[in-house]
Amino acid sequence: MKVEMENDYNTICDSVSSLIEGCRLSVRMKGTNDWPLAEIISIKEAIGVKEYYVHYVDFNKRLDEWVTEHDLDTRKVHFPRKDGGGSNTGVSTPKKAQIGSGPVVLTQSQSANVSGAVSRPSSPVNNTELLNGNAVLAAALQKRMNRKRKIPSLESEDSNEGPVPQPRQSGSMVSHHDDIVTRMKNIDLIELGKHRIKPWYFAPYPQEMVNLDCIYICEFCLKYRKSRKCLERHLKKCNLRHPPGNEIYRKDIISFFEIDGRKNKVYAQNLCLLAKLFLDHKTLYYDTDPFLFYVMTVFDNRGFHIVGYFSKEKESTEDYNVACILTMPPYQRKGYGKLLIEFSYELSKFEGKTGSPEKPLSDLGLLSYRSYWAQTILEILLDMKPVGDNEKPQITINEICELTSIKKEDVISTLQNLNLINYYKGQYIITLSRDIIENHHRAMESRKIRIDPKCLHWVPKDWGKRAKWNQSQNRRSSRGLSLSSQVNAEVEVKPDWVDLEEPLLIALDQIQVNV
């Protein structure tokens, strides 16, 4: 056996027999000819054939799969470190993904860092980039930050839970505790109404359900059965043709049902279980009491079919207006995700407050939110009329928040991500270039279905009053459910670079900045 040491734990091995869990090597991704770096999560042997459950290091966990030895490139294997601090548990995967140079799929931790709010300003850039609005902004901001160093910073918040105030690797892993079992997909296939869907992630269905070829789920009450026969028997008794709860919205074939996690506990739990198959970063909740569930359906002559849902805490001390959000895979990439998001903000508008989704967001969730925020804010900006002749329209950050119910951190991060803010002659200016406007119009054309506020029949409840008597209980349970407050702390950066009440001029052309 030829063994060559590359460094202390990189070896060339010529046999699959030496492979153990935690090894990293190139693996052929099913259905492709790509051989990305992967980590072996688990090994099983059936009738003399070994199979390997692998996680592709730079890719989302939903691509994890079982492969055989023919898919393994054993010429270069990276063994886990024996001291236990290495990659043997696989927890270090997200970290690796960040330095990887291949195609980058956002990991949970990256999502958490960039999602929803202003990230900490980078240090001042001393080059020509200063002409760029964001760089000017960053520099200006840095100055302010330096002046205001005394305000409690991220580091001090972080220091409560550990000695090393480093960026967190992954919020998701915190909840999973990298239990090998929960890292692996355990359900092969589900049947839901007329759809057969391959799950993406682990979900804690009862043990007797996991070794089946397929789980049969009633698309109306979400109860699960072992076989089609059992489901057919169930359907004869099950009278539901829509989710339980109140239908609070209907326009054309789209409806929304509001379900109280306390009143419809079994449905809510089954919904969480089903959703877990497609949401990685979510811990499972048997206590659904503190939540409302908003299920979106499409209607046909057989009933109201679930398209997606989001959950929402009855009372959120942190202004979250969405806890978990999911579009069922058969309905993805059709604009339904954005419809769910739009609906969640419509509820916030009815409540008269701003809101933000709970972090971390999934990679797909983050993309949808970013795009929703951008489109919604651009829609407002392009709609602004000048106050007087020869004047440019003006708007403040606070006004954008009030009009959209998008939380200020998300408004600011969106303006920054779109690179819209310029600093010119002592004032911040929102600059809308032709490119931005054209892209926006194109994007809006594809958003054919929209939420129509006139079709929402809903009065927000004051859960604070009615839940006073069991407040302590609620608080305890919601802490278990919310995805680690530490992760949230990362995005709670005070947007002190710009006065929220300061009018921002809106300019339609690229401004020439003369130095």
Beta strands of 378-478 (E only): which ranges? 394-395, 421-424, 427-431
Binding part of the chain for Zn ion, among 51-59, 233-241, 294-302, 450-458 by CB under 5 A, reads 233-241
Complex with Zn ion: residue 223 or 353, whichever CB lies closer: 223
Nearer to Zn ion (CB atom), residue 230 or residue 387: 230
Q: Enumerate residues 433-472 that contact Zn ion by CB under 5 A.
A: none
d(CA 99, CA 251): 46
Compute the distance between CA of residue 507 and CA of residue 515 in angstroms, rounded to an integer.
19
Those residues whose C-beta lies under 8 Å from the C-beta of residue 256, and which sit 6 or more positions away, are 247, 248, 249, 250, 294, 295, 296, 297, 343, 456
- The least CB distance from residue 244 to Zn ion, in Å, is 10
Shortest distance, CB of residue 217 to Zn ion, whole angstroms?
9
Q: Which is nearer to Zn ion, 40 or 222 (CB)?
A: 222
Is there a contact between 274 and 255 (Cβ–Cβ < 8 Å)?
no
Do the beta carbons of residue 164 and residue 297 sit within 8 Å? no
Least distance (Å) from Zn ion to the CB of residue 203? 18
Burial class (CB in 10 A: 0-12, 13-18, 19+), 459: exposed
Q: How far apart are CA 278 and CA 198, in angstroms?
A: 9
Between 140 and 238, CB nearer to Zn ion: 238
Asked if 481 and 323 count as a contact pair (C-beta separation under 8 A), the reply is yes
Binding letters toward Zn ion, positions 277-296, x by CB under 5 A: --------------------
Rounded least distance, CB 296 to Zn ion, Å: 18
Residue 197 C-beta: closest distance to Zn ion, Å: 17
Please work out the total of residues on this chain that contact Zn ion, with binding judged by CB under 5 A.
4
Q: Which is nearer to Zn ion, 56 or 267 (CB)?
A: 267
360 cis-preceded (ω within 30 degrees of 0): yes
3-class SS of residue 439: helix
Kindly report the number of other CB atoms within 10 A of residue 383's CB atom.
Answer: 10
289: three-class secondary structure by DSSP: coil
In the chain, the N- to C-terminal Cα span, in Å, equals 67
Quote the CA–CA distance of 40 and 22 in Å, as a whole number.
5
Q: Which is nearer to Zn ion, 220 or 423 (CB)?
A: 220
**Smallest distance, Zn ion to C-beta of residue 51, A:** 35
Residue 313 half-sphere exposure toward CB, CA atoms < 13 A:
23
Give the nearest distance from C-beta 328 to Zn ion in angstroms. 17
343: how many CB neighbours lie within 10 A of its CB?
22
CA distance 229 to 498: 62
Nearer to Zn ion, 215 or 418 (CB): 215
Query: How near is the Cβ of 274 to Zn ion at its closest, in Å?
Result: 13
- Between strands 49-56 and 65-68, the pairing is antiparallel
Q: Which pair of structure tokens corresponds to residue 237?
A: 């008794």
Name the residue among 511, 503, 498, 513 with its Cα closest to residue 118.
Answer: 498
Considering the complex, state which of residue 218 and residue 384 has its C-beta at the smaller distance from Zn ion: 218
57 vs 221 by CB, closer to Zn ion: 221
Q: How far apart are CA 238 and CA 218, in angstroms?
A: 9
Instruction: Give catalytic status of residue 358 as yes or no.
Output: yes
Q: How far, in Å, CA of 272 to CA of 54, rounded?
A: 26
Positions in 197-226 near Zn ion (CB under 5 A): 218, 220-221
Three-state secondary structure call for residue 496: coil
* Annotated active-site residue in 65, 258, 358, 490: 358
The bridge status of strand 504-507 relative to strand 427-431 is: parallel
Site for Zn ion in 235-264 (CB under 5 A): 238
Q: Point out which residues bind Zn ion (CB under 5 A).
A: 218, 220-221, 238
Residues belonging to the active site = 358
